[in-house]
Amino acid sequence: MSFRDLRNFTEMMRALGYPRHISMENFRTPNFDLVSEVLLWLVKRLELHFIELEK
The answer, yes or no, to whether residue 53 has pLDDT greater than 90, is no
Across the chain, mean pLDDT equals 89
pLDDT in tens, 15-35: 999 999 999 899 889 999 999
pTM: 0.76
Q: What is the DSSP string of the chain?
A: --HHHHHHHHHHHHHHT-SS---GGGGSS--HHHHHHHHHHHHHHHHHHHHHHH-
Identify the pLDDT of residue 55: 64
Please give the pLDDT value at position 48: 74
